[in-house]
Amino acid sequence: MKQIRKILIGTIACLALAGCRKDEISGNADDIPGLGGDVWTPTQIDAWLYENYTKPYNTDVKYKWSQTELSNINRFVTPVDEAKVIPVMKCLDSVLITPYETVTNADFMRRYLPRFIMLFGSAAYDSDGTRVQGQAEGEGRILLFELNNFRIKGMPGYQSQDSVGAKRLFLIIEHEFGHTLHMNIMYPVEFKSITGSYTSNWYNYTDGEANERGFISNYAMSGPDDDFVETLAILLVEGQTAFENRIANISSDAGRAALLQKSDAVRNYLRNAWSIDFTTLQQQTRAAIVRYTK
């Protein structure tokens, strides 16, 4: 079969060559649309991003539309509203960069802030119907979705219920940066056995049901990596008082014990792996979030 196949391919190639002729291409190849990539005039947004992200952190923030930036080309999303770009990136600076720099130093974020941050207007959806709001990739990229509905205190049209969406974005930011941390220094393997029972059907559970099973959210049930960074992110975004209230409302002794053990594991990881005082980081992060949502 292989020999026949080679023969057939060779025959087709000869026939193709026999039927070819040299055509002249008129004009300059540089004039062909699309070959040189998209070109646009830099705006005030580009200048701001350069001064606040590219220059200090060597981070490229991409907001111009490009479907090829999605690692999963089967996802369909809409471009981000350009009016949201600077407000979102100012929040990322206040909620993520400044608190981490406070407990470490500027060199920490220069080294670990992802080199590419991609902004998209809508959510992306997977084949199981779940919504993708953020994604961290090993090559130093963070993708943030669903930004066109983003509003914080002080923005036109802001209402108190918008704080829910703002907190969700802050949670996504902390979650995805948590992945960046453990991709560089892995959390202790013992964390994976605190509860186990991970499931791809996590979306069939409520957060309350997940809490009873020892997970901080239903998405934390999807796997140990997401369990770890969800615990980290929710502790930072909601604060210690909210976490203690969550613990108090869990009826299962095993669930309470597991969540407390996971909280300790996160604290110990940041201290031992990164020399970060978690309490200070938590207070700094929470204070920034309150300024945007209260």
3-class SS letters over 176-191: HHHHHHHHHCCCCHHH
| pLDDT at site 168 | 85
Find which of 28-37, 147-156, 159-168 is predicted with most confidence, using mean pLDDT. Answer: 147-156
Q: What integer is the mean pLDDT of 76-88?
A: 89
Spatial distance between the Cα atoms of 54 and 32, rounded to a whole number of angstroms:
31
**Does the pLDDT of residue 252 top 70, yes or no?**
yes
| pLDDT at site 231 | 98
**Does the pLDDT of residue 118 top 50, yes or no?**
yes
Which of 26-40, 157-171, 192-206, 218-232 is the least confident region?
Answer: 26-40
Q: What does each C-alpha distance from 134 to 6, 84, 104, 169, 203 come to in angstroms?
A: 47, 16, 25, 9, 16
Fold entry, domain 44-189+199-293: Collagenase (Catalytic Domain) (3.40.390)
Q: What does each C-alpha distance from 74 to 66, 141, 153, 292 come to in angstroms?
A: 14, 19, 35, 34
Spatial distance between the Cα atoms of 56 and 110, rounded to a whole number of angstroms:
7
> Can you give the pTM of this predicted structure?
0.81
Which of 14-28, 133-147, 161-175 is the least confident region?
Answer: 14-28
Spatial distance between the Cα atoms of 23 and 20, rounded to a whole number of angstroms:
9
Q: What is the identity of the amino acid at 74?
A: N
**Phi/psi-derived region of residue 58, left when phi > 0, alpha when psi is between -120 and 50, beta in every other case:** left
Spatial distance between the Cα atoms of 218 and 201, rounded to a whole number of angstroms:
9
**Does the pLDDT of residue 194 top 50, yes or no?**
yes
